[in-house]
Amino acid sequence: MARRGHRTKHRQKRVANAIEQLPWRDVVNPYGPTSVLGDEQLELIIDGALTILETQGMRFLEASSRKQLALAGADVDEEKQMVRFDRNLINEKLALAPDEFGLRARNPAHNLHIGGNHVVFASVGGPAFCSDLEKGRRPGTYDEMCDYLRLVQSLNIVHQEGGGPFEAMDLPAETRHLDLHLAQHRLTDKNCQSYALGGQRSKDSIEMACIALETDRAGLLENPAMLGIINTNSPMQLDIPMTEAVQELAGSGQVCCITPFTLAGSMSPATLAGTLVQQTAEVLAVTCYSQLVRPGAPVMYGSFASNVDMRSGSPALGTPEYTKAAQASGQIARRLGLPFRSSNTTVSNCIDGQAVFESEMSLWGAVMGGANLVNHAAGWLEGGLTASFEKLILDAEMLQMMAEYLRPITVNDDEMALDAIAEVGPGGHHFGTSHTLARYESAFYSPILSNRQNFESWAEAGSIDAGKRAQAILKQLLQEYTQPELDPAIDEALVDYVDRRKADTES
């Protein structure tokens, strides 16, 4: 475990011109969500979902889940592994799930609130590859993944780490998640998502959270700290690893973020209405099951609804359909009383204009759709196959802009500035007034990477575009990174856990 703190010392030296960014902030949406569905449409979709669950049902591949569902009154066809749900059963169990809850972080200042009009931005989770402008797109290493985690810790606008930015391909697949969780707890003091693939991995994430937070299962039940993404195998199926993850997470009172993977035209019907019906049916079925595992366990309504490109069958993300589906999903989630999860997506293969406009279409869909968690909010590229270092910085700028957009305009005598308008008079200039000087530092959003030089100055300085500026910023952030304090005893206990589990796996 020689890695521990190996770069801490030189990183604590702060450079003179530190990267400016917004302070950590609890982001809330005061404007209220956009409604893209009428009330009647909303009810039709929910009714359609309940009808699907009553007439066709959902396939649960894991045997014990079917048993438990049958005991609760669901209609189980063991041969087909199909479970049909009466709508009263669904509604009864749905009512048990909380509409808001907290998520503890190692640093209490970084605790999260999920629900209401709160918006949490999580970093990208799950890609197979990483990329940067210097070395291109490649399988990533553990060291590179640790650098990514350092950036996630450094960027205040990223509220939550997304469960591992990319696979550390230099480590064995079986125990890679242990090294990830160790790095999460050491290199960040933010809330970190679980690597929720299967029961044992989910259990490991929970055990290590207990160690890191100096608590136990009872404490974690009281104050959840772990969120895992539960992807259904759309259409209408829940596989064994994901069922085990529900059992572990819900069983210990941690958060199941239930997210069907419904690309209209392949994993769901080639219509948004059909896709929303199916997505809702899948979320409701798994929600119902989660409340059998533990009544009151926190769950989220996740949407990843988009469409395929009908000419190629390829996924299309950050599309107009994606934006509409996100906002419609938010309406459905609120109607069901569940917090809502959306994402920041793009299928672009590089950090070009497409990557940015698809991300913006996703972000506006999510934020104005009332998302309580914007998953993959920073760093995602290439349909989620790659975590990009520069995209992380570009996204952080976009997220900061959204957060500032969500700060309402103050209207009072001082801000309306009638005296300043009169003082300056026609054709005058406000730059030197006392009203302006009093606001010099904080009047307006100050960007991380946006350039406001005129063309000549910009060209003279080398015509550096946003991607290249992002590259310089991430290098500086890594230079400026300070590893958060971690009690050596906790660190040791985490290392012990990892070593013990690795030994178990080898034996």
Segment 254 to 283, residues that bind its own copies, using CB under 8 A: 264-274, 276-278, 281
Tell me which residues in 457-486 interact with its own copies (CB under 8 A). 458-459, 463, 465-467, 470
273 or 478, CB closer to its own copies? 273
Amino acid at site 72: A
Tell me which residues in 36-75 interact with its own copies (CB under 8 A). 36-37, 41, 44-45, 48, 51-52, 55-56, 58-59
4 or 435, CB closer to its own copies? 435
DSSP string, 251-303: HTT-EEEEE---EETTTB-SSHHHHHHHHHHHHHHHHHHHHHHSTT--EEEE-
Amino acid at site 141: T
Closest CA to 201 of 505, 450, 430: 505
For residue 306, the minimal CB distance to its own copies (Å) is 9
Contact flag: residue 314 with its own copies (CB under 8 A): yes
For residue 453, the minimal CB distance to its own copies (Å) is 7
Contact flag: residue 17 with its own copies (CB under 8 A): no
The CB-side HSE value for 118 (13 A sphere, CA atoms) comes to 17
Residue with tokens 């290392």: 495
Tell me which residues in 234-253 interact with its own copies (CB under 8 A). 235-237
Number of residues that bind its own copies (CB under 8 A): 127
For residue 409, the minimal CB distance to its own copies (Å) is 5
108 or 426, CB closer to its own copies? 426
* Dihedral angle, C-alpha 138, 144, 150, 153, nearest 10 °: 40
Amino acid at site 331: Q
Task: Output DSSP code: residue 470.
Answer: H
Tell me which residues in 278-307 interact with its own copies (CB under 8 A). 278, 281, 307
475 or 500, CB closer to its own copies? 475
Quick one: tokens of 240? 């064994």
3-state secondary structure 356-416: HHHHHHHHHHHHCCCCCEEEEEECEEHHHCEEEHHHHHHHHHHHHHHHHHCCCCCCCHHHH
Closest CA to 466 of 380, 388, 361, 390: 390
Among 151, 211, 225, 316, binds its own copies (CB under 8 A): 316
For residue 366, the minimal CB distance to its own copies (Å) is 12
Quick one: tokens of 404? 């500032």
For residue 436, the minimal CB distance to its own copies (Å) is 4
Residue with tokens 């039709």: 44
57 or 125, CB closer to its own copies? 57
- Class of residue 462 by CB neighbours under 10 A (exposed 0-12, middle 13-18, buried 19+): exposed
Tell me which residues in 318-337 interact with its own copies (CB under 8 A). 319-321, 323-324, 328
Contact flag: residue 139 with its own copies (CB under 8 A): no
Residue 31 CB: number of other CB atoms within 10 A? Answer: 12
Tell me which residues in 383-402 interact with its own copies (CB under 8 A). 383, 385-386, 394, 397-398, 401-402
Tell me which residues in 185-244 interact with its own copies (CB under 8 A). 233, 235-237
312 or 507, CB closer to its own copies? 312
For residue 168, the minimal CB distance to its own copies (Å) is 20
- Interface stretch with its own copies, choices 101-109, 164-172, 446-454, 491-499 (CB under 8 A): 446-454
